[in-house]
Structure 1
Amino acid sequence: MMEEFEYTLENEQQFWDELEDIVSANCPSHQLIDNALRNYLHFTTKFKDEYLASEDEFAHCLQKLFQSPVFRENKEYVRTQIVYSLLQEDEPPALNVIASFLLFDGRQNEPTFEMMNHEGCFPRLVELIKKGNRDDDARLHRLLLELLYEMSRVQKISSEDLAVVDDDFCEYLLRIIEELSDDVDDPYHYPVIRVLLVLNEQWMVASTRSPIEAPAVPLTNRVIKLLSLHGSSYMTFGENIIILLNRETETSLQLLILKLLYLLFTTRATYEYFYTNDLHVLLDVIIRNLLDLPNELVSLRHTYLRVLYPLLAHTQLNEPPHYKRDEITKVLSILGGSANTHWEPADETTVRLVERVAKVPWLRDEDVSEGEVARKLLGISLHPVHTASMVSVVDVAAVSEKPGVQTPSRKTEFEEEIHNFDGAAADRKENRELEVHLPVKKKPPPPTRRRHAPPAPPVLQVNGGRIPPKAPPRRRTRLKPMASAGDLESKARET
């Protein structure tokens, strides 16, 4: 049985000295390790408000445990005990420390997230998020959201665990986004959006499982269901995933967004979920990213093309005046390998997907038959067996990338080649002049909903000004760092 200690501290130095004594204890048995962990949790939660008010202080406190002999010599046992604590603890101060430990450790050691999944932490996190009050402890609420996202994007969640996510939970998350609609940089926006994106992917993957693996009762994709039934009530979510795609450089998160967009544009009830202005911005982003992707990123390029087809064919973009028609055909020509000698020859799947997009009726000249589209528009020729559409939810769901991998930029590679050539000042000046610097969209579009394209290119509200949405900000723009666990990791490393 652990001895209960009552601590009386007079200053901050005494706090850190006592913490050092706790984590430095000699623990040759599991019982003594348990005692040390309980003392650590009890001590840090007792003085959290007094001595761990800042993120730097909290990160330093957490790092003390990671650097201690208790953890270094008994890593798996300590992780197991912390996971069990998450399953049993209900007090917010202790949950703050527990969730922070698991989030930081899991990002360095993926098996921690796998252990959490195996021990049933997914339904527990859903429960804690649902019953937690973000107004009372905003930091804990964000930590739990980030922890749910991180553990769900590196592995499959079982059908039984996914079944605990109901309409109420997803509706709760969508309402949070709507409540924050006036501030796109609120630290709540992206943790909540990422959870919805990863849940969508989990349902998408579950729908492609073999009959042996599939649950007896098919799972419902709650995100698509709610947007199908009540999409007009949750428009801020759609606006923000476009902003996120525009800014994001992490490949795995781009894929999460594209998977949701694919389902939205292939589900009849959500064909017109987005504002027309936002579809214009989305099309600009897709065109830019398709041209920016290096040749070797084949899977990501395929996914963009698989989203582009239903975007052009099913949404209000298919009605005149047709936005960026000439630009789209030029991009398809480049991707097909006929318009730029600097691009490598397109692979068979890219050619097939490009031709599929090229057959969208409003992209074709009326006097050109469907069979001549590839030859006239793209300068390519395919056997009939290759022109049939093979795209399906299975293809999109199967694409994945490890978390943290950044999408390289064709433009960045080109800039490096120029700088490395001879360092001439003229080249550097010319390269700087080629860059486009535009303000980042901060607010969602006005509440007036436009389903059909206006006679002239629409304008968007951007930082109080008005600019046409034909040149989105550079993809290299980084998101505002999040206030809690996102900073915890970097600050802990610096300690």
Structure 2
Amino acid sequence: MAFEVSYNLENEEQFWAELDDIVSTRCHEHELIDNALRSFLNVTTNYKADYLETDYSIAICVYKLIQGELFTAHQEYVRRQIIYCLLQEDDNPTLHMVAAFLLYDGRNNSNDVTFEMMQAEGCFPRLVELVQTASVQEDTRLHRLLLELMYESSRIQRLSWEDLTSIDDAFIIYLLDIIEGVSDDRDDPYHYPVIRVLLVLNEQYLVASTTRHANGHGGVTNRVIKALSTHGMTFKTFGCNLILLLNRENETSLQLLILKVLYLIFGNPTTAEYFYTNDLHVLIDVILRNLIDLPSDSPASNALRHTYLRVLHPILANSQISKPPHYKHDDVLRLLRLLVNSGSHFAPVDETTVRLVKRCTSVPWLQPVSADDNGSASTTQSPIIGSPENTIGNGHQEVARRTLGMSVQGGGESATSVLMVASHTEKPGVKTPSRAKEMEP
């Protein structure tokens, strides 16, 4: 690091001209590449307060590097050097430029090489550390950027056992506390990045809980569900935001991340009544609407429909909606019957949809009530839906135990549901199919 350059740029035009010269440098030796990268970081950090005051200007700066000769001719080496910088530097302006480069470069390439290299070099524990550093917390733009980098780099690949164990209960509580302190303003700098980090961490825990580790490590505690189990009354805003996001999110991968959290929340006896009743009613409305809106002739639609139905069952069985007065009893039953009625709203349905609908309609409060010979009310199974395939109780208690760190044991529909919910994924950026949009002129 002995090579340093002193810059004395008088105006913004000179700044961008100097930057263009640096990123266009042709280098044939690693030492020259290192010198050019130092020059890039030197000029950008020295003049960050003057000419890089917005996220947009930072993005322009980073893309100049990504598209310049310096990077395009030596991509792997430059990426690795910048990753090493992330691992070693503590200066906020430098961390800002480095994190921005890794985020935009990772989003820019289709083969995920940047994020894979970050994981191989052990960047995740470093990100966990940086996000909690006091100096970083004071710089809200940098803090948000590091959260976004943590989310993007974690949602396209599995975290290692060492990565997951770098997270403790205090880190999850810290993130939930941030959400509790922000507004519902979608432009809030912390609103979505923090929630998305929690969503992707839950996804990682869920996937880990369904896999037997060949390296001999035991189960990893799902600290997101654990925090909601022990501090749920303190962190209600997170639940409200999940419903808001599910209501307006049109990216399939994010919908799946939200549904996976909901699946575990409602399958865990200690969190099954985590949501306020009014919010729970809104959630039911959103799920019913989204199920109706999904087209019937798309594999992507079927996978998402199956996930919605797997989530709907523990909601119907375990939440406050299972107690009188039952919210939208007729609407729920009508929608479920519609999903298996091939002669009505949908094309012929697959066997999985039929099976999952049967499970939902097996919930006792959805059964029709009839009078027996003594005049007492009793429930009878609807002939349209068929016999119940599953009941709540031990199965969901076992799900709850697994989500808190135990490995999947044996078979059964409950274990199968966990596996299927965990396995449903979609590439970032893919939009959810919509029946309403397909009908638009």
Instruction: Among all aligned residue pairs of Structure 1 and Structure 2, give the percentage whose two residues are the same amino acid.
Output: 58
> Which secondary structure state, in structure 1, belongs to the residue aligned with residue 370 of structure 2?
coil
Q: 2:115, 2:156 → 1: CA distance? A: 8
1:333 matched to 2:337? The reply is yes
Query: Residues of 2 paired with 1:42 and 1:263: CA distance?
Result: 47
Could you tell me which of 135, 138, 160 is aligned with 1:136? 138
How far apart are residue 161 of structure 1 and its match? 1.1
Deviation at 1:24, TM superposition (A): 2.2
Q: CA deviation at 1:338?
A: 4.5
Equivalent residue number for residue 435 of structure 1: none
Structure 1 residue 392 displacement after superposition: 2.9
State the Cα distance separating 1:120 from its structure 2 match: 0.4
Establish whether residue 222 from structure 1 lines up as the match of residue 223 from structure 2: yes
Give the counterpart letter for 1:152 in structure 2.
S
1:247-326 matched pairs, under 5 angstroms? 247-295=248-296, 296=298, 297-326=301-330
How far apart are residue 212 of structure 1 and its match? 2.6
Q: Does the 8 A contact of 2:277 with 2:320 survive in 1?
A: yes
User: Does the alignment pair 1:393 with 2:396?
Assistant: no
Paired with 1:134 and 1:5, the residues of 2 have a C-alpha distance of 26
Identify the match of residue 352 of structure 1 among 350, 355, 370: 355
Q: TM-score, normalised by structure 2?
A: 0.88
Change (3 A) 1:72 1:184: closer
CA contact (8 A) 2:358 2:388 kept: no
- Spell out, residue by residue over 1:241-290, the C-alpha distance to the aligned partner (whole angstroms, 9 max, x if none): 11011010111110111000010001000011100000000000000000
Supply the AA of the counterpart residue of 2:85. S
Alignment of 1:327-476 (within 5 A): 327-338=331-342, 340=344, 342-367=345-370, 372-373=381-382, 375-376=383-384, 378=385, 389=413, 391-415=416-440, 419=441
- Aligned with 1:367: secondary structure? strand
Cα deviation for residue 389 of structure 1 reads 4.3
Distance (whole Å) between structure 1 residues aligned to residue 2 and residue 438 of structure 2: 59
Number of residue equivalences: 408
Aligned pair in 2 of structure 1 residues 382, 190: CA closer, same or farther (>3 Å)?
A: same
200, 210, 213: which one aligns with 2:212: 210
Q: Secondary structure at the match of 1:209?
A: coil
Mapped to 2, the partners of 1:61 and 1:307 lie a distance apart of: 43
Matches of 1:117 and 1:384, distance apart in 2: 42
Does the CA-based 8 Å contact 1:132-1:141 persist in structure 2? Answer: no
**Structure 2 CA distance, aligned partners of 1:38 and 1:99?**
15
- How far apart, CA to CA, are the structure 1 residues paired with 2:206 and 2:150? 17
Aligned to 1:62: 62
Q: Structure 1 residues 6, 403: closer, same or farther in 2, change over 3 A?
A: same
Q: Taking structure 1 as the reference length, what is the TM-score of the superposition?
A: 0.79
Greater shift in the superposed pair: 303-312 or 47-56: 47-56
Aligned counterparts, 1:45-194, within 5 A: 45-109=45-109, 110-133=112-135, 136-181=138-183, 183=185, 185-194=187-196
Say which SS state the counterpart of residue 233 (structure 1) adopts.
coil
Cα deviation, residue 3, structure 1: 2.9
Distance 1:304 1:54 in 2: 39
Kindly indicate whether the alpha-carbon contact (under 8 Å) linking 1:181 and 1:236 is maintained by their aligned counterparts in 2.
no
CA contact (8 A) 2:368 2:381 kept: no
Deviations 1:294-336 (A, max 9, x none): 1221111111001101101101011122111111111111111
Between the aligned partners of 2:60 and 2:231, the Cα distance in structure 1 is 45
Matched, 1:3 2:28: no
* Pair 1:383–1:227, CA change in 2 (3 A): closer
Deviations 1:3-28 (A, max 9, x none): 32211122111112222222222211
* Residues 389 and 64 (structure 1), Cα distance of their counterparts in 2 relative to 1, 3 Å cut: closer
Q: 1:194 to 1:214 in 2, by over 3 A?
A: farther
Q: Does the 8 Å CA contact 1:52/1:58 hold for their aligned counterparts?
A: yes
Is the 1:152–1:198 Cα contact (8 Å) retained in structure 2?
yes
Q: Which has the higher contact order (CA 8 A, sep 6+)?
A: 1
Question: What SS is found at the alignment partner of 1:270?
Answer: coil
User: Unaligned stretches of 5+ in structure 2?
Assistant: 372-377, 391-411
Question: Does the 8 Å contact 1:2/1:35 carry over to 2?
Answer: no
Give per-residue Cα distances to partners, 1:387-419, cap 9 Å, x unaligned: x8455321211111111111010111122xxx2
What is the CA–CA distance in structure 1 between the aligned matches of 2:137 and 2:212, rounded to whole Å? 43
1:47: how far off?
0.6
Give the distance between the partners of 2:379 and 2:31, measured in 1 at CA.
Answer: 75
Aligned mates of 1:263, 1:24 — CA distance in 2 = 50
- Name the amino acid aligned to 1:357: C
Conserved 8 A contact 2:367-2:380: no
The CA distance in 1 between the partners of 2:85 and 2:342, in whole Å, is: 60
Uncovered stretches (5+) of structure 1, i.e. residues with no partner = 420-495
Distance 2:291 2:74 in 1: 48
Cα pair distance change 1:383/1:201, threshold 3 Å: closer
How far the C-alpha of 1:136 sits from its partner, in A, is: 2.3
Q: Is contact 1:184–1:240 with CA below 8 Å preserved after alignment?
A: no
